[in-house]
């Protein structure tokens, strides 16, 4: 095996460890937040972009700024929901299962992304 193979293995294992650390519920909510954020950013840009007119003189920048605003807001909302639900799971008897499933999810995510 060469250096690239070792880097891929390290990346997949790191993803699995992060998944176990964060837990399955938080990982799934984060993934769903990304999907929803990108969907909303591309479909609702026209609602926010006109309100940025006073701040941005270039009309080509406004849609991208609106998309960034939407993505950031949805990701913050998703992070808050994920943290709240993860807190309640940690207090329950399902904490170990959440971490185990998070490890598996992280392993699969690392394998698919690479």
Boundaries of domain holding 32: 3-113
Among 4-13, 53-62, 72-81, whose mean pLDDT is lowest?
53-62
Residue 53 has pLDDT above 80, yes or no: no
**Contact yes or no for 99/23 (Cβ under 8 A):** yes
Mean pLDDT computed over 74-100? 93
Q: Comparing C-alpha atoms, which of 110, 114, 113 is closest to residue 17?
A: 110
**HSE value, Cβ hemisphere, 13 Å, CA-based, for 76:** 6
pLDDT digits (tens, 9 = 90+) for 71-80: 999 999 999 9
Q: What is the largest CA-CA distance in the chain?
A: 56
Number of domains in the chain: 1
Contact 6, 87 (CB under 8 A): no
């Amino acid at each position: 095996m060469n250096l690239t193979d070792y880097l891929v293995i390290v990346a997949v294992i790191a993803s699995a460890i992060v998944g176990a650390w964060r837990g399955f519920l938080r990982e799934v909510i984060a993934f769903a937040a990304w999907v929803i954020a990108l969907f909303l950013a591309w479909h609702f840009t026209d609602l926010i972009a006109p309100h940025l007119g006073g701040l941005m003189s270039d009309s080509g920048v406004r849609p991208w700024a609106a998309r960034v605003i939407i993505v950031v807001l949805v990701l913050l909302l998703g992070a808050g929901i994920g943290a709240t639900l993860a807190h309640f799971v940690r207090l329950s008897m399902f904490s170990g299962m959440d971490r185990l499933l998070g490890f598996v999810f992280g392993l699969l995510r690392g394998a698919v992304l690479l």
